[in-house]
Amino acid sequence: MPLAYGGPTEEHRAVRTRCGLFDVSHMGELEIAGTGARAFCQRLTTNDVDRLAVGDAQYTLLCNERGGIIDDLILYRLAPDRYLAIVNAAHTAVVSEWMTRQGAQGARVGDVSEAWALLAVQGPRGPAVAARCVGVDPTQRGFTITEQNAWGARVLASRTGYTGEDGFEILVPAQQAVAAWNDLLAGVAEEGGLPAGLAARDTLRLEAALPLCGTDMGTETTPWEAGLGWVVSLEAGGDFVGRERLVAQRREGVARRLVCLELLEDAGVPRHGFGVRHDGVMVGRVTSGTKSPTLGRFIALASVERACTMPGTDVTIDVRGRSVPARVVPRPFYRRAETGRDG
């Protein structure tokens, strides 16, 4: 995936206002199948797998025994005894190995990443492109997946994305990837959109305050600390790995949490690792930062002490030797206008 095809800011704005096409085939695909697949997925992930009917999807987390986040993923139920997990590219081998070590009784875990390409059409006009090129129903609910016939192959189209915009992510057999890309790119161009690269993907997800595993959270971060408690089902999710620690932390409270910061001066990008201070005392670190093309301001995600997590709290960020004023703001920075569809 290139950093950009042209200008990252132009690509970002195309996705926000029209549509963009991402080649995210670097993401990993793991298939979990067998009579024990449902129970296995329930035991490993924090969300409630029992809520998934065939064709449904959910955002969820894999945690270690200490409640730390190994990876975040989207889990799809393709058939009664068959699930597909889309995991972060850098973690595919680690997650596959970790799943296998858990003892998948009655379930098989297979890495099918090489079999699939993954193309994402994102933006307000994205559904129209997907309907025209793939044959999806543009009213398909969010977090569902359907099977379609396109480019002479069986493809899977899910109403999901990582940009804060509407759209579809389309799994295409690897052999049809070039034909699919060319067709979707022509459809995106008809709507005034652009191909979009990694730089635009990062600024888009940051505006939507979507954390990146390995940057904004990791094995030393729990879901509560990452602001992802909404995908932890302590009551209905069963005895999943890490549950005991998460129950205790919910009772005791967290020492720090991921927050949104907006810089009050035009002072440069707040980079990963930059210090965050309150009343001159170090209270945390920036995890991601950028200049928001949509808002025109510098923004950041940061892990800070609990006392400094309330919106409206004034802090400073150490930006290359300067103490730059910033403020905790509500999450997310940007939220698209609702279209009325579910998801």
Backbone angles phi, psi at 41, to 5 degrees: -65, -35
Give the mean pLDDT of 160-175: 98
Name the burial class of residue 317, with classes exposed (0-12), middle (13-18) and buried (19+) by CB atoms within 10 angstroms of its CB.
buried
Using one digit for the tens of pLDDT, what is the confidence trace for 67-82?
999 999 999 999 999 9
The tokens describing 279, both together, are 């009343």
Using one digit for the tens of pLDDT, what is the confidence trace for 44-69?
999 999 999 999 999 999 999 999 99
| pLDDT at res. 337 | 80
CATH 3.40.50.300 correct for 8-204 = no
- Helices vs. strands in the chain: H and E counts, helices first: 7, 17
In three-state secondary structure terms, 37 is helix
Distance CA 253, CA 55 (A): 36
Query: Residue 80's CB: how many other CB atoms inside 10 A?
Result: 10
| pLDDT at res. 338 | 59
Share the mean pLDDT of the chain.
Answer: 96
Using one digit for the tens of pLDDT, what is the confidence trace for 210-266?
999 999 999 999 999 999 999 999 988 779 999 999 999 999 999 999 999 999 998
Distance CA 94, CA 176 (A): 28
Where are the domains positioned within the chain? 8-204
| pLDDT at res. 267 | 85
Distance CA 23, CA 239 (A): 36
